[in-house]
Amino acid sequence: MPTIKEMLAANEQWANDIKEADPQYFIRAAKEQKPELLWVGCADSRVGPDQLIGLPMGSIFVHRNIGNIFATNDLNCLAVLEYAIDELRVPHIIVCGHYRCGGVQAAMTHSGIQPVDLWLDQIRFIYQRHKDELGELDKMARWNRLAELNVEAQVHNICRNTVVREAWKRGQEVNVLGLIYDIHDGRLKQLGLEFRSQAEWEAHYS
Ligand SMILES: [Zn+2]
């Protein structure tokens, strides 16, 4: 881990490099942000979005928490979604989970009353809903499959949110999709979940 002095030196170098390559960069950035993507991902330090999908800084509006949960009763999640859609008019939303997620594992293996336990209850409910399917898998496959089912549930939570439904109703582009990241090989995989309208989403869940 570098010292704070080294981090500040690295920052200065970075800012100088950017300015040299693109003298207008910080002038543009200071005016406004125009992200093309809202990323809902896990807080896991190995799953930062910028490098995973190779988008330049300023392209992604980010929300991360333990277990990449879009909690329908969490003011933070709701405010991020509302601001992304109604103010920034972000056209794409990605929910990205990952295999070997510590949050998913904790939800599978124990429960309790600490804040992390209570937060992860939301994944425990998903586990309960899919108990039959998950019960037939071995430990590793069950862990991975629950990470996928969690992404699906969070995509669902976003699509049924009033902000998204109203945006679709007025014809605003909102494309919601689910991805899973494999920490072993750095690859992202699409989960066959992609919704561009209320009709597409309803057709999938009916
Ligand atoms: Zn995680």
| Residue 206 scores a pLDDT above 80 | no
- Residue 42 is assigned to a ligand binding site: yes
- Residue 44 is assigned to a ligand binding site: yes
pLDDT tens digits, 62-111? 999 999 999 999 999 999 999 999 999 999 999 999 999 999 999 999 88
| Residue 143 scores a pLDDT above 80 | yes
What DSSP letter does each residue of the chain carry, written as one string? ---HHHHHHHHHHHHHHHHHH-TTHHHHHHH----SEEEEEE--TT--HHHHHTPPTTSEEEEEETT----TT-HHHHHHHHIIIIIS---EEEEEEETT-HHHHHHHH---SSHHHHHHHHHHHHHHHTHHHHHTS-HHHHHHHHHHHHHHHHHHHHHTSHHHHHHHHTT---EEEEEEEETTTTEEEEEEEEESSHHHHHHHH-
Residue 121 Cα to ligand 1 midpoint, Å, equals 15
What range defines the domain where residue 127 resides?
32-205
Residue 101 Cα to ligand 1 midpoint, Å, equals 4
The CATH number of residue 77's host domain is 3.40.1050.10
Identify whether residues 76 and 55 lie together within a single domain. Answer: yes
pLDDT tens digits, 148-161? 999 999 999 999 99
Average pLDDT over residues 192-201: 94
> What is the percentage of the chain residues whose pLDDT exceeds 90?
85
- Residue 96 is assigned to a ligand binding site: no
Residue 96 Cα to ligand 1 midpoint, Å, equals 10
Identify whether residues 79 and 169 lie together within a single domain. Answer: yes
Average pLDDT over residues 44-54: 87
Catalytic residues: 42, 44, 46, 98, 101
Identify whether residues 20 and 70 lie together within a single domain. Answer: no
